[in-house]
């Protein structure tokens, strides 16, 4: 959970729903994300750096979403933080997409997300979950560390689940 990416107003608000269907990033786009982020230091990211990242992703038609946030987290970056620095997060102002207002011929902002029963994950929990999944996917954890990571993931998902659980199965 980037400036210049269409639909950037959604960057600051990352919630996951059981009904959410996002477009999966191609291996070429994942490689571009990794190569682009390798040129920058996540700990010392500037506004200019963030805007450059956003521009590259925008030109490659890489849209904000959980796949982008996860790919960025694997490289040590927070999609939300990059978006804020680039001025395209929720603080950038309604009606602003890619730095162009709707009155200036740009696209209007996307409609607000619909409320669905599903996971309601806060930005902090989303970042924690993304980091935990990245750690888990390294395959370099001891059995004890793997159990700890899986337990933490399970705790976040349980806390984020709607009343009655995520799914209701009827025979």
Q: How confident is the model at residue 15 (pLDDT cuts 50, 70, 90)?
A: very low
76-85: string of b/e by CB count within 10 Å (b at 16+)?
ebbbbbbbbb
Q: Residue 99's pLDDT is what?
A: 43
In-domain check, residue 19: yes
Task: Indicate if the pLDDT at residue 103 is higher than 60.
Answer: no
Please write the tens of the pLDDT for every residue from 44-55: 999 999 999 999
Identify the bridge partners of residue 100 per DSSP, sorted by sequence position. 97
Task: Indicate if the pLDDT at residue 129 is higher than 60.
Answer: yes
In-domain check, residue 66: yes
In-domain check, residue 147: no
Higher pLDDT, 166 or 115: 166
Task: Indicate if the pLDDT at residue 5 is higher than 50.
Answer: no
CA-to-CA distance for 148 and 163, rounded, in angstroms?
A: 25
Q: Residue holding tokens 């992703």?
A: 57
Half-sphere exposure of 100 (CA within 13 A, CB side): 11
In-domain check, residue 71: yes
In-domain check, residue 14: yes
Q: Residue 159's pLDDT is what?
A: 79
Task: Indicate if the pLDDT at residue 107 is higher than 80.
Answer: no
Q: How confident is the model at residue 153 (pLDDT cuts 50, 70, 90)?
A: confident
In-domain check, residue 145: no
The rounded mean pLDDT for the chain is: 74
In-domain check, residue 64: yes
* Global pTM exceeds 0.85: no
The pair of three-digit structure tokens given for residue 101, joined into one six-digit string: 């207002």
Q: What percent of the chain has pLDDT over 70?
A: 64
- Domain count along the chain: 1
Host domain of residue 100? 8-104
Over residues 119-146, the mean pLDDT reads 85
Task: Indicate if the pLDDT at residue 98 is higher than 70.
Answer: no
Among 26-30, 66-70, 103-107, whose mean pLDDT is lowest?
A: 103-107
In-domain check, residue 171: no
Among 100-104, 107-111, 123-127, whose mean pLDDT is lowest?
A: 100-104
Helix ranges, the chain (H): 27-38, 47-59, 66-74, 79-86, 123-137, 143-160
Map residue 112 onto helix, strand or coil: coil
């Amino acid at each position: 959970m980037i400036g210049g990416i269409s639909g950037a107003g959604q960057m600051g608000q990352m919630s996951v729903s059981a009904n959410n269907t996002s477009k999966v990033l191609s291996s070429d786009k994942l490689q571009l994300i990794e190569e682009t982020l390798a040129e920058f230091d996540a700990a010392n990211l500037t506004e200019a750096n963030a805007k450059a990242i956003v521009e590259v992703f925008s030109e490659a038609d890489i849209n904000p979403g959980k796949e982008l946030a996860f790919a960025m987290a694997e490289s040590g970056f927070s999609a939300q933080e990059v978006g804020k620095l680039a001025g395209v997060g929720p603080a950038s102002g309604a009606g602003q997409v890619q730095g162009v207002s709707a009155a200036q011929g740009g696209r209007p902002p996307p409609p607000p997300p619909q409320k669905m029963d599903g996971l309601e994950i806060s930005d902090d929990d989303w970042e924690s979950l993304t980091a935990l999944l990245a750690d888990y996917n390294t395959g370099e954890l001891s059995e004890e560390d793997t159990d700890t990571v899986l337990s933490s993931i399970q705790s976040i998902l349980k806390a984020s689940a709607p009343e009655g659980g995520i799914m209701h199965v009827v025979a």
